[in-house]
Structure 1
Amino acid sequence: MRPIMLRTLLLASAASVLIAGAAVAADMPTYPVETAEVAPSDWAGFYAGVHIGFGFSDYDFISLEGGEGGSYGGLDLDDEDGIIGGGQVGYNMQFGRFLLGVEGDIAGTGIEANDLDDEDGFSIETRINFIATARGRLGFTFDNLLVYGTGGAAFVSFEADYPPFADDDIAFGWAAGGGVEWRFMENVSAKIEYLRIEADAEDLALEPDTDVDIKLDTIKVGLNYHF
């Protein structure tokens, strides 16, 4: 066989093998390539839930000028703590791993205190009936975990009995704190949260008329359902 014919035969054979290989490769199934990166959980949207916890209170009584009787300066109210429980609603916006939201909550309380005024022998009793807050939240998400700070307005229903006098007020102030929330199911999360609350009950009609500075520390656990 001549060299030219042999070379042509070899080239033709090689071309046939390449064409056949390409055809087999084209018929093979393809599979998507999985990436290692996991998208952060979606915390955006409305949510609502319930909470329970404990509140620790402290009061400063300030008698107004012109009043008569004791100044309340010696009062040392006992049993200044109690259980709190209620509910919350809120809305979150998420920007990557950053979260911006608003939340409102309200809780009834079992916080009561009492003391005896040694000057006239009368006892005084105080109660916090409910606490409500309206706050902003700023947080950072780690997939199913949210760490956040929070702050805003606070409203405290406060009443005092100083027989034969009694009065109550919705004290206005501020609340600030932070918490951690864990999304343990697709639509359900659990949280633990601390809040410092300070509010003023003004011009209570006791004897003498009195302002009360209310200080509260609350810690609570709760559950949220995300819609």
Structure 2
Amino acid sequence: MKTIAFALASASTLVLAAPAFAGNLTPAAPEAPVYVAPVETAGADWTGFYAGATAGYGYGEDAAEDADDSTYGVFGGYNYDMGDWVVGGELEYSKSDMENAGVEVDDMTRLKLRAGYDFGKVVVYGIAGANYTNATIAGTDYSDTGVSYGIGADYAVTDNIVAGLEVLQNDFNEFDDSGADLSATTVAAKVGFRF
């Protein structure tokens, strides 16, 4: 019986002491570095055709002073995503309720060039283009081509739906030889569908 007790005591001593003998004087080899892929922010590819509707407000100047009222219309265009930059063109037709005692701005057809910076789901851009407008001045119908320029921003709500905002200055010198300059600032919210 003493032999079994001695054997058990010796075995338990070896088991408890075993971790002390497990060490090694040789330094451990360094572990291989772990590669962590960079996290990419959700972006959008802005290349392609789009179309939509716009609604906003116009503030008249010059002959259209105090001719402040709503604007609304449709637009369509094409964007090309170059990586950090997005360029494109857009055709927009807007009706206008802007009028004062002597001038009524009936509608505007704008051909716009757009260039902006791609922040992923947002593009902030500048605009320059031509504007063909019909207006009634002192009871006579006139039409003329002027310039439009401004800024805008688009946000990709989904892969196909885009919401945006534009602020444009629209200028006409000597509107259709009427003897009056005509200007207006327009602010418009836009919703479009990308094809």
TM-score (norm 2): 0.76
Map residues 64-79 of structure 1 onto 2, 5 A cutoff: 79=66
Q: Determine the structure 1 residue equivalent to 2:193.
A: 225
Q: Which runs of 4+ in 1 moved over 2 A?
A: 37-40
Distance, in Å, in 2 between the alignment partners of 1:37 and 1:52 is: 35
Alpha-carbon distance change, 170 to 36 in structure 1, aligned in 2, over 3 angstroms: same
Pick aligned residue for 2:118 from 141, 145, 157: 141
- Computed over aligned residues only, the root mean square deviation of the Cα atoms, in angstroms, reads 1.9
Q: Determine the structure 1 residue equivalent to 2:61.
A: 58
**Contact conserved, 1:46 with 1:90, CA < 8 A, in 2?**
yes
Q: In the TM superposition, what whole-angstrom CA distance separates every residue of 1:102-128 from its partner, at most 9, and x where no partner exists?
A: 0110110101111xxxxxxxxxx2211
**Contact conserved, 2:67 with 2:104, CA < 8 A, in 1?**
no
1:160 is displaced (CA, Å) by: 1.8
Q: Determine if the alignment matches structure 1 residue 46 to structure 2 residue 49.
A: yes
Alpha-carbon distance change, 189 to 159 in structure 1, aligned in 2, over 3 angstroms: same
Structure with greater strand percent? 1
Distance, in Å, in 2 between the alignment partners of 1:183 and 1:40 is: 9
**Contact conserved, 1:40 with 1:97, CA < 8 A, in 2?**
no
**Contact conserved, 2:44 with 2:159, CA < 8 A, in 1?**
no
Q: In the TM superposition, what whole-angstrom CA distance separates every residue of 1:5-62 from its partner, at most 9, and x where no partner exists?
A: xxxxxxxxxxxxxxxxxxxxxxxxxxxx7542347310000000101000011124xx
Distance, in Å, in 2 between the alignment partners of 1:149 and 1:189 is: 17
Q: Give the unaligned 5+ runs of structure 2.
A: 1-35
1:151 is displaced (CA, Å) by: 0.5
Name the amino acid aligned to 1:43: W
Pick aligned residue for 1:186 from 159, 162, 175: 159
Task: State, as a whole percentage, how many aligned pairs show the same letter.
Answer: 26
Map residues 155-170 of structure 1 onto 2, 5 A cutoff: 155-161=132-138, 166-170=139-143
1:78 is displaced (CA, Å) by: 6.2
How many residues get paired?
Answer: 160
Distance, in Å, in 2 between the alignment partners of 1:221 and 1:80 is: 20
Q: Determine the structure 2 residue equivalent to 1:112.
A: 99
**Contact conserved, 1:40 with 1:96, CA < 8 A, in 2?**
no
Q: Give the unaligned 5+ runs of structure 1.
A: 1-32, 61-76, 115-124, 204-209
Name the amino acid aligned to 1:112: E
